[in-house]
Amino acid sequence: MPTADREHMKQTSIEESEGAVQSNRDQTVDERGGDEGFDLHAGTTQFYEDPHYYDYEFKSRREDVKYYTDRYLEAEGWCVELGVGTGRIAAPAVRAGAKVIGVDLHEGMLRVAEERRQRLAKAKRGSLRLVQGDMRTFELGETFPLISLPFNALQHMYTLEDARACLKTVHEHLQPGGLLVFDVLMPDFEYLNRPAFARFQGVDFKHPTWGATYNYSEQSAYDHLRQLNQVWFYYDRVDPPIGEPSEAPEHHSIQLSHRYYYPQELALLLEVSGFKTLHCSGDFEGGPVVEGNESLVYICEKVN
């Protein structure tokens, strides 16, 4: 997920201790079971284990909600949203008149999406269907005018084989001339090349699940060969102070994995997967792709 959208990721300083850095390197190697990769299972699941905290993190992210809502309404039929999560995008879109089938791998996220569905007006609830499934292998038994992968969902496809499998399944579920709409993070070399495993200090915030105040910090490491970035998020309790009785944990950490896709790489990947890129923009308002964009936003047509 893009750090700029998170509520408390305003990093104020860098704290790096050689001992701490080496300790974290050692811990990471242990978790990997070797030196060949990150803990991608943790990076695919841990960030989504607390859906209410997830919604808190991204409550101010609204541009993509409007963008995808507009695309769904233009499609004039049932659309599929892969990585529907908590329904952050799908539920407002349905409220506006869209019909969406949301697919997600994570049961807890779908549970919150169902809570959102139940809060819709009774007449709208039937316009949001939720399905647990893998975006590489989902099977819905029909075709659609539009399928989306919002909020960097494609970046959980960690290999080209994963991405090809996902795009093949999407292609099979699209009607002739149907649209694939998605966004990914623009590779940020300053961010990806920051010192591996260095600890970046964040700010204090009140955790919405535990009700306690935590200090946030993070570290990351980028595998240039596989284009994988692994991020560790750390939460250290401030209030109540460590040592005082509390149901809120004193320390907590989660991981997030992303594979970065480069524009020319994506162009070829889409072409060989049977898609024509109709438009690629640098934001959700249709702006040009320029250095410094946070996102790349694609509209692609099924061509064969």
At residue 250, the pLDDT reads 98
Residue-level pLDDT at 304:
83
Write out the chain in H/E/C secondary structure. Answer: CCHHHCCCCCCCEEECCHHHHHHHHHHHHHHHCCCCCCCHHHHHHHHHCCHHHHHHHCCCCCHHHHHHHHHHHHHCCEEEEECCCCCCCHHHHHHCCCEEEEEECCHHHHHHHHHHHHHCCHHHHCCEEEEECCCCCCCCCCCEEEEEECCCHHHHCCCHHHHHHHHHHHHHHEEEEEEEEEEEECCCHHHHCCCCCCEEEEEEEECCCCCCEEEEEEEEEEECCCCEEEEEEEEEEEECCCCCCCCCCCEEEEEEEEECCCHHHHHHHHHHCCEEEEEEECCCCCCCCCCCCCEEEEEEEECC
pLDDT 10s digits, 73-116: 999 899 999 999 999 999 999 999 999 999 999 999 999 999 99
pLDDT the model gives residue 2: 42
User: Which pLDDT score, from 0 to 100, does residue 36 have?
Assistant: 53
Banded pLDDT at 19 (limits 50, 70, 90)? very low
Per-residue pLDDT, 7: 52
When comparing pLDDT for 218 and 31, which is higher? Answer: 218
Full set of structural domains in the chain with CATH = 3-57+188-259 (no CATH), 63-185+262-302 (3.40.50.150)
Structure tokens at 271: 């072409």
- The mean per-residue pLDDT over the stretch 179-187 comes to 98
Mean pLDDT of 147-166: 98
- Asked whether residue 24 carries a pLDDT value surpassing 70, the answer given is no
Q: Would you state the pLDDT for residue 5?
A: 53
| Out of 6-20, 40-54, 93-107, 192-206, least confident range | 6-20
Is the model's pLDDT at 169 over the cut of 90? yes
pLDDT tens digit sequence for 277-289: 999 999 999 999 9
pLDDT reading at 8 higher than 90 = no
pTM for this structure?
0.90
Mean model confidence pLDDT for the chain: 91
